Structure 1
Amino acid sequence: MMDDRLHFSGIKHLVFDWNGTLIDDIALAVSAVNRCGERYAVPPIDTARYRALFDFPIADFYAALGFDLQRTPFAKIVEHYLEHFDRNVAHCPLHDGVFEVLEAAREAGIGVSIVSASHCDVLLHTLDAKGLYGRFEHVVGLSHNQATSKTAEAVLLQKRLGTPANRTLFIGDTLHDYDVARAVGWKPLLVSTGHQDASRLQRADAPVFGSLGELLGYYASDTRRCVAHEEV
């Protein structure tokens, strides 16, 4: 883990992952996976096992859990998963510190956007339900339900931002988010409250925070230091 308390120096834009980063949907995800497991005769898992195994491509994750993807097409499993997940995700709570981080970014003149592997329609509906609609400059989700990488969407967002990629910080909760950031040229930062546990996230060459609130503490400290420097 890289311990760098100055990630916000020079940052012009924050891009957030959604699932597991801003919204606490882990319990729902585990429930939806187990619902699929019940249908296809795969043993249930708990949250710890989910976070230890969850990965991209998601088809490999299901294979690791014991789903027979030769017998049951991955698309059918995803369809069954989303029937439960999409219907209930708007009821999931936000992680602590979401509104505080967004407000701190606004006060500092830092833009904020979202890139998510959720379907765009579901994403927008959930943002509205959580009081976040209109709080982001750009909201980018998938146009399909194939549970694929969001790298292509991140590349398109970077073009829309019109600022140097290394001035953007991407905050996510998985090693896939780290890979997306590196592919686009964004600086990665990870929080361990989401879909992968801290021990896995620490394999990446990126700062790992225990929560958004912890991130906010570092950010506030850095802001005070910058203000003090400007007043000298």
Structure 2
Amino acid sequence: MPPTAHHPAAPPRLDLTDTLVLFDWNGTLVADTDRALRATNAVLTHRGLPGLTAEDFPAKWKLPLAAFLRDLGAADPEAAEQYWNRALAAEPAPLRRGTARMLDTLRACGARLGVVSAAGAAAVADDIRNTGLDDRFDVVLAGVAAKTSALLSQRPTRPRAYYVGDTEYDIHCARAAGYLAIAVTGGYRPAHALAAVRPDAVVDHLDQLPGVVTALHAKTPAPLGGTPA
């Protein structure tokens, strides 16, 4: 895995009109690990199962969500997933520091932006509205059962494509769909777990992301594939 990136924000004159940047939502753009833990424990308590501690959660978290809940003992993982999403949607979550500024920088440079999330569509839509990001995204795909398929559906829209997430699953899906994968630390999964799957870049803070995209552009001058919209 490359060393943690510490690049400055991209200058407004950078041309990213050939670029698609899609994001995971929970743990990536919103700081909601505590909320996700509470939603998980609500599912487990409702089923008479032991809850997780704050230390347990990042070690055990994985996607798909139904598989995560099944591994915790839920005999009805699909119903448990719906319960989890309702619990998640019941409380707001703050943006990670620098989220809005980072999105504005990428948009000012011409990038196409979007969200691809496994979380329930209602929960993500509420979060986007509550955080004031309604006008930042060109596409929002939430409640997706398979991220690779969702990412592939957007891949033809720009020659260069990046997916930003906080789990190994995000990295694997990005690569399977022909995206460069950028990992964000401080989300649902620990940094050492992200390091094990060797993303193309890693950031600790979202305001580093425009500079990272700039650096990856410089390293990969040829388009990654796809057809501009």
TM-score range, shorter chain: 0.7 to 0.9
1:20 aligned onto 2:17: no
Deviations 1:75-115 (A, max 9, x none): 22223222311222xx1100001011112212322221111
Answer yes or no: is 1:87 the counterpart of 2:90.
Answer: yes
Counterparts in 2 of 1:121 and 1:62: CA distance versus 1, 3 Å: closer
Q: How does 1:3-152 map to 2 (within 5 A)?
A: 3=3, 12-65=19-72, 67-69=73-75, 73-88=76-91, 91-142=92-143, 148-152=145-149
State the 1:176 CA deviation: 0.9
| Amino acid in the other structure paired with 1:23 | V
Change (3 A) 1:182 1:117: same
Q: Which residue of 2 aligns with 1:200?
A: 193
The equivalent residue for 1:2 is 2
Aligned positions, number: 208
The equivalent of 1:170 in structure 2 is 163
- The reply to whether residue 215 of structure 1 matches residue 209 of structure 2 is yes
Give the Cα separation in 2 of the matches to 1:138 and 1:79: 23
What TM-score do you get using the length of structure 1 for normalisation? 0.79
Match for 1:131: what amino acid? G
Does the Cα contact within 8 Å between 1:24 and 1:94 map onto a contact in 2? Answer: yes
Q: CA deviation at 1:123?
A: 2.2
Match of 2:221 in 1: none
* Structure-1 separation of matches of 2:153 and 2:195: 28
Query: Alpha-carbon deviation of 1:20?
Result: 0.9
Q: Any unmatched runs of 5+ in structure 2?
A: 219-229
Structure 2 counterpart of 1:155, from 113, 136, 152: 152
Unaligned runs of 5+ residues in structure 1 are 226-232
* Cα distance between partner residues in 1 of 2:181 and 2:208: 16
Q: Is 1:187 equivalent to 2:184 in the alignment?
A: no
Taking the aligned partners of 2:141 and 2:74, their CA distance within structure 1 comes to 32
Cα distance in structure 2, aligned partners of 1:192 and 1:156: 26
In the alignment, the residues of structure 2 paired with residue 121 and residue 83 of structure 1 have an alpha-carbon distance, to the nearest angstrom, of 8
Mapped partners of 2:27, 2:111: distance in 1: 22
Separation in 2, partners of 1:124, 1:57: 20
Equivalent-residue separation in structure 2 for 1:153 and 1:169 (angstroms): 13
Which structure has the highest helix share of the two? 1
Question: Which secondary structure does the structure 1 equivalent of 2:142 belong to?
Answer: strand
The answer (yes or no) to whether the contact 1:141–1:153 under 8 Å persists in 2 is: no
Q: How far apart, CA to CA, are the structure 2 residues paired with 1:4 and 1:130? A: 27
> Identity of aligned pairs, percent?
25
2:195 alignment partner AA: Q
